[in-house]
Structure 1
Amino acid sequence: MNLKPQDLLTDMFKAAVNAAQPEHCIPPYLPTAPRGRTVVIGAGKASAAMAQALERHWKQGPISGVVVTRYGYAVPCEHIKILEAAHPVPDQAGEDAAHEILAAVSQLTEDDLVICLISGGGSSLLPVAAEGITLADKQAINKALLRSGASISEMNCVRRHLSAIKGGRLAAACAPARLVNLIISDVPGDNPMDIASGPTVPDPTTCEQALDIIRRYDITIPDAARDLLTSGKGETIKPDDARLAQVTTHLIATPQLALLAAAKIAEKAGVKPVLLGDSIEGESRDVAKVMAGIALSVKQHGQPATAPCVLLSGGETTVTLKGNGRGGRNVEFLLSVAIALNGADGIYGLAGDTDGVDGQEEIAGALFDPSSLQRAWDLGLRPLDSLDNNDGHGFFEALGDALITGPTLTNVNDFRAILILPNSV
C-alpha cells in the first residue's frame, strides 16, 4: 500500500460520496414525457443538486416546479425554484416551502406528470403540521425525538402521523397526475416511507404505533398532538388508497452502492474490503465497541479477514444525549472506537456523514490513528470525559483530525471505515 492510511480512508469516503451524486444517479431513471405538464417537486439535502441534474438531462419539453433543501445546499436552476430551510430542527421557511410545494401540485390532471426528488433531511424541510399543531410544537417534538435515542424509523413514524404532508399525503395531493419518485436513501433498510418521512409513498404504520414510540422513550408532546394520535385523526395514507395508483418509486442511490464504491478504492490499494452491512443501527458508542472488537480480532487472529483489510459499514447510529458537548453520532462512534482500541498498533479509522454534516455541526466527521489518545492526553484532554460529555467534535477538532467537506449535495447516511494494517505505518 503506497498511500498513507489517512489518505486511503479519505479517498474511500470521497468515492462513497461521489457514487451518490445526483449527476450520476438521475439520468437512468428519467420518465417519459406526459401529454400535459411536467412539474418537479422535492425535499432533502440533495434535492437542489437533483433538480439541477434533472434540468441538465431533461430533453422532453418544458418543466417547472419547486424543491426545498437545507440552508447552504442550494445550487442554481433555470426552471425549478430552489428554496432553503432549516435542518434538523424545522423553521418557518420550511413550512412556507412545503405550502408552496403543495400549491405547485394542486389542480393537476391525469395528463400531467410529477417528478418528486426526495433525499435525506426532507422530513425537517417539510414541516406542515396537522390541524391543531403549531410549528413551535413540531420544533419541540423534533428536538425531543433527536435527544431520545429513538431510531430514525421510529422518529419518522411519529413525524408522519403529526404531519399534513408526510406519510403519503403529498402523493395524494398530486392525484390524478402520474407521480414518479426518484429517491436517494439515507436510512437503514432503504424503506421509502422512512426517507424524508415518506411524503409521496404509502405508510402502513398507525397512530397507535406512533403513540407506542412516544411512550417507549417518555417523550412529552402537546395535548393537541396526543389527541390527534389517540383519536386516529392523524392516520396516514395507506397502500390501498386509490389516489396512489399512479405512483412509481425508484431508489436511485443507496448506502450499499456507496460502500461498494469505497470497496473498489480499497482493492486498488491492495487492501481487502470487508463489508459489514449498510443498515447498522444502535447507540454509537455501543456499535463502536463491537467494531473495535472485530478490528482486534483481525489483528490477533486473522478473523474475519487478514490484514491489510478495511471494515466498511453504513447505517445510522443514535446518540442519547446526556452531556452538553457538541455531539455528532459519527464522532461519538469514532471516539468510542479509539478508546476501545487504546492505541492498538496499525489500526486507523474514519467516520463521517455523507452529507457533510454530523449532527448539527458543519463537520462531516473525523479520523483517528494509533496516536490519537496519546496526543489527546498531551493536550490535557481526557477521552472518556469527552465521550461522557457527548463532545466528539470538540475532541477531534482539538487534535486537528476533523473531517470537513462542506455541503456534499447528496446524502446516503453514515460511512464508517476501520483500516487494519499488519504493522504500524
Structure 2
Amino acid sequence: MRGTNRRRFLKGAGATGIAVGLTGCVGELESYLGGSDSPDDGNGNGTGNNSTQETDESTPTDDGQEGEVLVDFSNGVEDWYDLDSYGSFEAISEVRNGEQGIRLTAGEDEPYVGAVTAFSEPIDLRGKSLSVSFMAMSPQNHRLEVQPVAPDQGNLLRLNRTNTGPLGHWMNLDMGATGERGDPDLSEVYELRLIGRQRSQGQTIDMAIDQIRVLDAPDTGKVMLTWDDCHQSHARAFEIMEEFGFAGVDGVITHAVGASSRLDTGQLRQMNSSGWDIVSHPHPQGSGSAVLTEENWSESEQREIIENSKNWLETRGFEEGAQYYIAPGNTRDATNMELLREYHEASISYGGGNIGLPVTDPHTVGRVNGTNLDAIQRYIDLAEKYNQLVAPMWHSIGDSPEADITEADFRALLEYINSADVEVVTMSDLVG
C-alpha cells in the first residue's frame, strides 16, 4: 500500500497492540428495513516506516481520539477498488478527521455500493474493535457494513450498523458483529470491505467515511437489557431479573408515570436502588409525533421537551439515569443529536446489531429488537466471542399477544446470559 499514514497490525502481533506505521418502534422498523438484522442473515454481498511501539488502544491519541488509525484515506482512494458493479466511490476533502475521506454513492435502483482494499501483509485484528468516523446524507434509514476478510473470501466477519439518522452529522460508529462467513481468522486479515446499503427503500445512497480506527476490545463481552415506556409489566421483568442479580435500563415517559398501566415513582425508585438506570425517553404530551426531529418539532420545542424530561428525573432522585436518553421512535436528526450532546452524557437508538467496545461515541449506542429469542442468543454468542455489547430492547413482558416477550422466553434468555461469559451492564456501567 502507498502512503505513510496507514496503521497496520501485522501477523504475529496478537492482541498486544503493537502497531507498525506503514504505507498505505423497533419491530415495525425492522419490517420497514426489509427484515430483522439478525446474525448470519446473509446480508453480506460478496462478491515504509518499520518502527514499532506499544500502544494503549483505549486511551486518546495525539489527535484526541481513541485508538490507532488503520485507514485515513491520506492518499485518497487510489488503493481502493469496486466490490461490485453497483454504485461508485470517490475521494472527498471535506472531512472531520485527517485530510481526505471516501464517499460511497449509489442510485435508487442499486441496493448497495462497496469498496475494497487489500493488504500485501496480513493485519492482525484479534482482540480488536473497529470504530468508523461516518456521516450519511441519504437515505434516512441506512446501513454500513465493514467486512474484514480473514484470510480469504470464504472467511469473513460481518460488522454492521443500521442507522435511522441523523443525516449530515459526523459521528463514530463502533462496529459490532452480526454474523460470519466460514471461520474467519482475524490474525490474517487480507482485505477490508466497506459496504453502504439503502435497505430496500428505493432511495439514493450517499455516505462518507474519513477514518477507521482500531482499539483494544475489553476482556469480556457485555449485555444491556433495556425497556421502554415504563409499562407496568416492567415490574415483573424487574422481579425476574432480580433472581439473577441483573440490573437493567428503563426509559421513562415522565408524564405517564403513575398511570394505571405504568410504573409509579415508588416502583421506579425500587428499581433504581437495585442498580437500574431510570433514563429519559420523552414523548410529548397531547397531539404530535413522539419522534424528535425538526420535521415534527422545532429546535426550541425539542430543547424544552428534553429539558423537562431530564429535570423531572433529576428532581425525583434519578440524577444518574437523567444523564442518559433513549430516542423515542428510534429516530434522530442532526438538530436532535446536537441537543442530546448538550444535555446528556449518552443516548441510545436503533443499531441493528452488536456494538464494538469500548464505546468511542456515547451517543451512538445501538440496540436490537429483543422479541426473537434465537436471534438474541446468537447475538450474545457473538458478543461473547468478540467481546462486544448487545443491547436488546422490549416494551412489555407477559403472555398477552401484545407483549414483546413471554415470561418463559425472558427467563430462558436470562439463563442463557447467566451461562455465557458476558457481563450484564447498564448505561452508567457502560459509559459512566
- Per the normalisation by structure 1, the TM-score is 0.31
Q: Where is the strand percentage greater, Structure 1 or Structure 2? A: 2
- Per the normalisation by structure 2, the TM-score is 0.31
Q: Where is the helix percentage greater, Structure 1 or Structure 2? A: 1
